[in-house]
């Protein structure tokens, strides 16, 4: 193979690698926010909330997610854990919405649950990790404090 052909092949390979992947060194971590909490069901013993997460992907490529787990505190009390092992895709340079259920028992958080469900907005703390492929699998930790609307 001639030197010119070798250089052309190397240039094409590097261009192909650079356009479709992100290395761990230049990977920008997605930002996770709690967008909304909605009461799905409520009964005598407890209920289920739907927690809608907004995950912003600042990377110039689509990122595949394999797992997400996080603890959710509402109004200063641990309300439960959000977990999914379902695959998800984070659109490049955009925000993806993912809704996860959270089951709770009134007995575990009676006063906090009543306060949370009685207001339109509450303070929250969200902390966890998600596994993403860039094409290497990376564990991305996240923490976010904010205010979220509670929809009944």
48 versus 5: the higher-pLDDT residue is: 48
Peptide bond into 135 cis (omega under 30): yes
* Segments of the chain assigned E as strands: 31-42, 46-57, 63-74, 77-84, 88-90, 94-105, 121-133, 137-151
Distance CA 49, CA 51 (A): 6
Q: Which of 28-42, 55-69, 117-131 has the lowest mean pLDDT?
A: 117-131
* 18 pLDDT higher than 60: no
Q: Sorting pLDDT into bands at 50, 70 and 90, what band is 118?
A: low
Distance CA 96, CA 57 (A): 8
Distance CA 99, CA 119 (A): 21
pLDDT at 85: 95
13 versus 20: the higher-pLDDT residue is: 20
pLDDT tens digits, 82-98? 999 999 999 999 999 99
pLDDT at 33: 97
Q: Which residues contact 143 (CB under 8 A, 6 or more apart)?
A: 125, 126, 127
113 versus 50: the higher-pLDDT residue is: 50
Give pTM, 2 decimals.
0.79
23 versus 132: the higher-pLDDT residue is: 132
Across the range 94-112, mean pLDDT stands at 84
Q: Sorting pLDDT into bands at 50, 70 and 90, what band is 75?
A: confident
At 149, list the tokens.
């609307």
């Amino acid at each position: 193979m001639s030197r010119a052909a070798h250089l052309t092949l190397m240039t094409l390979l590097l261009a192909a690698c650079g356009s479709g992947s992100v290395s761990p060194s230049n990977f920008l971590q997605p930002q996770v926010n709690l967008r909304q909490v909605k009461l799905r069901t409520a009964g005598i013993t407890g209920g289920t909330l739907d927690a809608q997460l907004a995950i912003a992907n600042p990377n110039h490529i689509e990122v595949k997610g394999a797992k997400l787990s996080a603890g959710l505190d509402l109004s200063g009390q641990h309300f439960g854990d959000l977990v999914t092992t379902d695959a998800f895709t984070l659109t490049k340079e955009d925000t993806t919405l993912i809704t996860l259920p959270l089951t709770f028992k009134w007995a575990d958080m009676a006063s906090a649950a009543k306060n949370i469900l009685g207001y339109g907005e509450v303070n929250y703390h969200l902390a966890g990790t998600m596994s993403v492929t860039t094409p290497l699998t990376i564990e991305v930790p996240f923490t976010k404090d904010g205010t979220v609307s509670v929809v009944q």
